[in-house]
Structure 1
């Protein structure tokens, strides 16, 4: 059986094959051959970006920003939070947290981003604000993520909530997913989301904030 030289395949075939690869595999192809590196930059491969379930360091994530652009519509990132994790990351904090600089780069590079899934990510609320997210977002998922360094008085002071004025910065937001976030969420946070963000209700009046045990606390059920 004769072998097939990958570089001998037409670009249309290679792009079709690359479409089934994840961002990390595509990135690794860049160092194999200049022709493959050029094809990896094709915008069709970076419309819906899912980094998979393996957590990546912030330094490594920054290497993918150059592939993103107005063509990018959704991004999914899995972080370092585990069921046994505390609210604060251990070890080298900066490499395990989603930084404001990274979110700002997404805002600058991806003006048409519609969905951002930050699953099980550490987020330092004292330095990273949701106001740095792209204004085009329609869906924000924080499933299992841990916000730390939150103000202690946000239970009674709405201005201290991480969701304060979210409707101003994300005017077309339609869905917020907060499963597994009960360790840091407060009823005030959720009340603020539902009372200020009118876009979180569809035409039937259904509230598009999805979470678990907190639903009865704020009357979502």
Structure 2
């Protein structure tokens, strides 16, 4: 039996006092004795405002409390919170701690709202469960408290999150001597190392060595803004059996060697569909290598800001400009070599890195292939023409801020790119008449140019 202690109040008759039952949470009233004082002992300034409407006949009313909500309602509210807020909420009481562990809240985890340090990140490991499919974290390379990721963190992910499909690690430092590519979860399908800093890398092999064996299900690899990425890693990445999307934008060392790009595209990338090469100093020869990639559907190219010489066609011939300063690479060599049609030539002019009509016309082109069958009495029998189509599935092409891309590229694409749906030639040397002609020939293709800018 519950006992209740009620403070004596001297009230005018008839009067009642309300109290809340701790079992049923209902308000109950008790009749009080007559007042022997002309004034109530509780003055008006200490009275609490009445919370029940005068029209309300039912005295049953629950208190306004978060814990009065059902678990389903709490889960519906918590799904809009980020992991940091869920962590703070779990420290309030035992019930909220249990609700915040629900599997529906931790199937897709995104910590990127604010940078999270290693010591803070390890506190969330207790929430990790096998049903997590997406994990996204972001660090801060500029922070004074910054620490790189540890091998124990990747070990915990591999042991606990055995259904993980997507792993995004942004702006963290990774020690190549301590964390190998084989330490990453092997079941993932999407891996992003955007903005990460990898150091202590071995010079005799790629960091992605044996990646095709360790991650056979990988379909998307994002290496945006990775200054450490070198072109010889293309050979290893091209072996990925299911790779469909590769993003190498702002990887400025890609143009150091043409041979790797040529070999990788000739013998690998059998399933590649999306290729992002924006803000890289690649030239015609490197881009032309990807013409043999039959499955390619989206290609993104954009000239680096340091190499742009943007001019509108109406401005006429641009005045003579001083030569651009060539970048100095880690080996302090300014001279680059370009293998062009079998000839070895030095790149004294860095403008050779720019893309022109030559690269665009290599995409989506037709090549006639004939084979001699027999030769009898001076008569030569040849096989019927076989028309080989480069990039027959190309749907989206972005070629931005390249002054050597002209109307010739538009004419070629209109005649040969039968699957094209989207084209962006902003900042190039195409004319307004050329864009209008292309639109009339390919009305189903959305084209963007400098003439569309407001």
Q: TM class, shorter-chain normalised? A: 0.7 to 0.9
Q: TM-score, normalised by structure 1?
A: 0.83
What's the counterpart of residue 111 of structure 1? 162
How far is the alpha carbon of 1:204 from its aligned partner? 8.1
Asked whether 1:173 is paired with 2:233, we answer no
Q: How does 1:1-221 map to 2 (within 5 A)?
A: 4-81=64-141, 96-151=147-202, 153=203, 157=204, 160-181=205-226, 183-194=227-238, 196-201=239-244, 205-208=271-274, 210=276, 212-214=278-280, 216=282, 219=287
Unaligned runs of 5+ in 2: 1-49, 52-62, 246-268, 291-298, 300-454
Q: Deviations over 1:137-192 (max 9, x none)?
A: 000011111111212x2xxx3xx2110001111110011011111x1000011232
Indicate the structure with greater strand content: 2
Aligned length: 204
Contact 1:120 1:144 in 2 (8 A): yes
Quote the Cα distance in structure 1 between the aligned partners of 2:149 and 2:213.
22
Unaligned runs of 5+ in 1: none
Quote the Cα distance in structure 2 between the aligned partners of 1:44 and 1:167.
32
Tell me the secondary structure at the aligned position of residue 63 of structure 1. helix
How far is the alpha carbon of 1:212 from its aligned partner? 3.6
Tell me the secondary structure at the aligned position of residue 161 of structure 1. coil
Contact 1:130 1:162 in 2 (8 A): yes
Contact 1:47 1:73 in 2 (8 A): yes
Contact 1:29 1:40 in 2 (8 A): yes
Q: Which has the higher contact order (CA 8 A, sep 6+)?
A: 1
User: Given the superposition, is the C-alpha separation of residues 70 and 130 from structure 1 closer, same or farther in structure 2, using an over 3 Å criterion?
Assistant: same
Say which one has the larger Rg. Answer: 2
Quote the Cα distance in structure 2 between the aligned partners of 1:145 and 1:39.
34
Quote the Cα distance in structure 2 between the aligned partners of 1:138 and 1:206.
14
Tell me the secondary structure at the aligned position of residue 242 of structure 2. helix
Contact 2:212 2:236 in 1 (8 A): no
Contact 2:241 2:271 in 1 (8 A): no
Indicate the structure with greater helix content: 1
The 4+ residue runs of structure 1 with deviation greater than 2 A are 1-4, 201-221
Output the aligned Cα RMSD: 2.5
Q: Deviations over 1:2-29 (max 9, x none)?
A: 7831111111000110101011100001
Contact 1:175 1:209 in 2 (8 A): no
Tell me the secondary structure at the aligned position of residue 108 of structure 1. helix
How far is the alpha carbon of 1:201 from its aligned partner? 3.9
